[in-house]
Structure 1
Amino acid sequence: MSKGVYINGKWSAGDGDWFEKTCPATGETSWEGQAASASQVNAAVEAAQAAGVAWRHTPQHDRTRILEAYAEAVGERAEQISEAISRDMGKARWESMGEAGAMRGKIAVSIQAQVERAGGRQDETAFGSAHLTHRAHGVMAVFGPFNFPGHLPNGHIVPALLAGNTVVFKPSELAPAVAKIMVECFEAAGLPAGVLNVIHGGRHTGAALLDAEINGLLFTGSANTGTAFHRHFAGRPEVILALEMGGNNPLIVWDPADIEAAGDIAAQSAFLTTGQRCSCARRVYVPQGKFGDSVIEAIVERARSLKIGAWDEDDVFMGPLVSEQAAQAAVDFQTMLSKAGGKPLRRLKRMDRGGGFVTAGVIDMTDAGNVPDEELFGPLMQVFRVKDFDAAILKANDTRFGLSGGLVSDDDALWLRAHNEMRAGILNRNRPTAGAAGNMPFGGPGLSGNFRPGAYYAADYCAWPQASQVADTAERMSAQGFGKKA
């Protein structure tokens, strides 16, 4: 049995509800234990508050040194990290190894971002000097998602710690196992007790953390959950919120020279991580006619030929969805689209091997009505035929979200239009929509977030700026500045 609470440097059993996670590929139990109770959540926050005094006063170079040591520890445990991720949520091993590598790479990026975006400067003035510094918020609650259970919370935790904050981390109950390894890496790096605390659990544990005396909430997850969190903190501007909430992302494919390359990019955009990336393409727009038909045929062929299997099988492109419930939800979503007028070209089906396994699906929504503007976390691509590029841009922007988007085209003029007109925080050309760089911001407008992008820009929401005018001694103000008329 795993222990569900890590407070002030010590693991202990949770006092809350029992829960377990089973691997969606094998059915084996990957984590089991009791969730943290409300009183344990409060104890974790209190431990973070107490540790914060010394941590905020720790010199920046010492905090940086500890995070660099953490990066080395993560690198040494990459195999262990990747296996924990794959056993929990079913991700193919090559992908989970990539996630472990991204976790390590994030530290150097975060250090550079902290210097560039949240550093300090001093300017000489007539009276002395003017200073810009940055201050920590305090206790940051980090809610981790299941699809990248190491990399995405790591992308909040690392910049938060660099800035002098302390952290209470609630991993996703759908992928909890990697958190223990992350703690071991922080311990090996010499992170002081109480600076990072972990509370396992689901909805009740998360609700208790929201009600605790936190100074910030850093969240990656669904729009429904993120907007509920936003409402929870309405009227409390003193609590910093950074919400990354996914997208109903469009990809336009328009007269590129290589149809096969376009098919590859579209399939990568839709089916990477079994469609469980918030930046995956959900909607693809092609021109009416022979070219568009050829692109759709190429996409369907790739969906048909993908190798699907368990995380420890060789040459697997796509693993299962995170749970049987997620697999059924994907089938139900496809049924709903069919009732709206969609025509399945390649059905997403649950596979005979059970668990979270599904096939990749493609559905033609050109003649459908009332297509819902919703994000399905699964490998189902909606394709639309449109009459011209104006219609493609209009349809691409017809969404409440705005995380990612893309254009596959050799035409520079079309790219200029797309770049100027498409509403997406991550906009790629001739690359999958799911491709994002850690040294760039990650986020977007609309229901995709609250304009606090992560990745390189995480430094912005992990500290607040303080401006100071400094004179070495107190001197009387000039007559013009005090006590007399000018």
Structure 2
Amino acid sequence: MSATLISTEPATGAFLWEGPVSDVEAQVARARAAWPRWAAQPIAVRVETLRRFANAVRRDEEKLADLIARETGKPLWDARGEVEAVINKVEISIAAYSERTGQKRLDAAMGARQALRHKPHGLMAVLGPYNFPAHLPNGHIVPALLAGNAILFKPSEKTPAVGEMLVRLYHEAGVPQDIVRLIVGGPKEGKALTAHTDVNGILFTGSAATGIAINRQFASDPGKILALEMGGNNPIIVWDTVDIASAAALVVQSAFMSSGQRCTAASRLIVRDSMADMVIAEVKKIADRLIIDHPHADPTPYMGPLIDNQAADGLTESFLILMSNGGRPIKHMVRPVKDRPFVTPAMIDVTAMTERPDIELFGPLLQIIRVPDFAAAITEANNTRYGLSASLIGGSPDQYNQFWANIRAGIVNWNRPTNGASSKAPFGGVGISGNHRPSAYYAADYCAYPVVSSEIEQPRASIGVGMRDIDVSAMGD
């Protein structure tokens, strides 16, 4: 009897979904056998198929949003925003494919022409996260399908129901069933998938530890494409602004949206010491008003639960560790619902800590650091191995230019939150946030590889140097 995977609603603990764990070997074989037919389709066929997928998602928009909200715990308004991103990804990917991987022809010597085309890699494994279980894997799958790849999609073991619905919508739109295969399972199935010799590429979104392990696994195999998005320890600097209320709202949006379960969430507020008390007080005032409840609650919540009790236990423990090592609590983290993974947003001043942990605290836990000058603010912001997102709130144009030039991050914003990046731009980071293969608009770059050809209709060649003269006397009549 095969093993099964069960998914429950984090907000209520109610049973949501159950399905058999996949046979990775069999799924790889099916997709590998089907891939050549999909790759041979004209690009127009793949484009129209994916446009039908966007229409299928639009038709079932509320069903998908409801399922995302129930399986992740995020508020329904947040889940609806995720579904909208899934729909919009199709047209964005079509434009990116044309711009970044379209065919080009150039003149060459002797009447020949240079042709630039792109080929799909083959069989791509997409490993999705639980925080955006539809949008983030879809951000890999759509451009990979457009390029002519086949897909093995393993959703997080914490959100398999959303993964199953997403795959069903691809199939209903006309993507052949063997071209997108669902892999249900946990770490064991993920490792089997990434290690399989017939898998040509790994497109991963998740923790730095797992991404680094995958990168190490393929260190001696440069033939496999590897795109890693591994989160962040993101700074938001507040500097010399008279609009404290707006600055605080941007901090709250950066740190606590989606219960802080965004890879671009701000984990560190760096603030000028002369204005720190005003900023901290305003941020706390807003955070105290945030409604935390189940996804469909009335009044509408700003935050839902974390994904599970293990995540909530780990985050509350992290808060206690920071406090016991010199952190000064501003707003305590509380578990308001017994046995459920709800946590209140927390704030802690860690300025006095001699060593601050450089880890991704995936939840609504904001560390505050006071600094005396702008150079110290940038130094503190760069005090991390990560480098995904960073924002400056306030400051002058010259200071923003200094911030932009010196900050190590793939997303650098001014008077905007650290999260909410546009799919029309590249999305990725430096350090251990990624491996220099940004996704979103630039996903086209790693879903196909360039092939350059020099072409002419008739052979034409001669060798004009380095040849002996012909010995005419040795030639017969």
The question of a shared fold, defined as TM-score above 0.5 by the shorter chain, is answered with yes
The within-5 A match list for 1:383-462 is: 383-462=368-447
TM superposition shift of 1:135 = 0.5
* Matched residue, 1:339: 324
Secondary structure of 2:370's counterpart equals strand
Is 1:242 aligned to residue 231 of structure 2? no
CA distance in 1, matches of 2:265, 2:401: 22
Taking only the aligned residue pairs, the percentage that are identical comes to 44
RMSD over aligned Cα atoms: 1.3
TM superposition shift of 1:19 = 2.7
Among residues 253, 270, 281, which one is paired with 1:297 in the alignment?
Answer: 281
Label 1:293 to 1:270 Cα distance change in 2 as closer, same or farther (>3 A): same
List, as ranges, runs of 4+ consecutive aligned residues in structure 1 with deviation greater than 3 Å: 482-485
* Matched residue, 1:44: 27
Which residue identity does 2:52 align to in structure 1? Answer: A
Is 1:24 aligned to residue 7 of structure 2? no
Q: Which moved more, 1:193-202 or 1:274-283?
A: 193-202
TM superposition shift of 1:31 = 1.6
TM superposition shift of 1:410 = 4.5
Is 1:128 aligned to residue 109 of structure 2? no
Secondary structure of 2:296's counterpart equals coil
Which residue identity does 1:201 align to in structure 2? Answer: G
CA distance in 1, matches of 2:393, 2:342: 30
Among residues 238, 250, 255, which one is paired with 1:253 in the alignment?
Answer: 238
CA distance in 2, matches of 1:32, 1:369: 47
CA distance in 2, matches of 1:48, 1:147: 27
| Mapped contact 2:151–2:181 kept (Cα < 8 A) | yes
Among residues 166, 174, 177, which one is paired with 2:161 in the alignment?
Answer: 177
* Matched residue, 2:475: none
* Matched residue, 1:159: 143
CA distance in 2, matches of 1:334, 1:249: 17
TM superposition shift of 1:257 = 2.1
Label 1:351 to 1:166 Cα distance change in 2 as closer, same or farther (>3 A): same
Secondary structure of 2:284's counterpart equals helix
* Matched residue, 2:53: 70
CA distance in 2, matches of 1:97, 1:323: 21
Which residue identity does 1:95 align to in structure 2? Answer: D
Which residue identity does 1:247 align to in structure 2? Answer: G
CA distance in 2, matches of 1:416, 1:484: 65
TM superposition shift of 1:24 = 1.0
CA distance in 2, matches of 1:150, 1:459: 19
| Mapped contact 1:51–1:193 kept (Cα < 8 A) | no
Structure with bigger gyration radius: 2
Secondary structure of 1:185's counterpart equals helix
TM superposition shift of 1:235 = 0.2
Task: List runs of 5+ in structure 1 lacking aligned partners.
Answer: 1-14
Q: Which moved more, 1:75-84 or 1:94-103?
A: 75-84
CA distance in 2, matches of 1:484, 1:27: 87
Give CA deviations for 1:36-62 in whole Å, capped at 9, x if unaligned: 2xxx21111111111111111100111
| Mapped contact 1:361–1:381 kept (Cα < 8 A) | yes
TM superposition shift of 1:183 = 2.1
CA distance in 2, matches of 1:232, 1:84: 34
Is 1:283 aligned to residue 240 of structure 2? no
* Matched residue, 2:184: 200
CA distance in 2, matches of 1:206, 1:179: 14
Task: List runs of 5+ in structure 2 lacking aligned partners.
Answer: 470-477
CA distance in 2, matches of 1:348, 1:373: 20
Secondary structure of 2:460's counterpart equals coil
Is 1:262 aligned to residue 256 of structure 2? no
Label 1:484 to 1:296 Cα distance change in 2 as closer, same or farther (>3 A): farther
Output the TM-score relative to the length of structure 2.
Answer: 0.96
Give CA deviations for 1:426-456 in whole Å, capped at 9, x if unaligned: 1111111012000001001000011100000
CA distance in 1, matches of 2:468, 2:331: 83
Output the TM-score relative to the length of structure 1.
Answer: 0.94
* Matched residue, 1:328: 313
| Mapped contact 1:303–1:362 kept (Cα < 8 A) | no
CA distance in 2, matches of 1:476, 1:469: 14
Provide the aligned length of Structure 1 versus Structure 2: 466
Secondary structure of 1:167's counterpart equals strand
| Mapped contact 2:319–2:333 kept (Cα < 8 A) | yes
Which residue identity does 2:399 align to in structure 1? Answer: L
Label 1:483 to 1:440 Cα distance change in 2 as closer, same or farther (>3 A): farther
TM superposition shift of 1:184 = 2.4
Q: Which moved more, 1:464-473 or 1:79-88?
A: 79-88
CA distance in 2, matches of 1:60, 1:31: 36
CA distance in 2, matches of 1:478, 1:71: 56
* Matched residue, 1:377: 362
TM superposition shift of 1:484 = 6.6
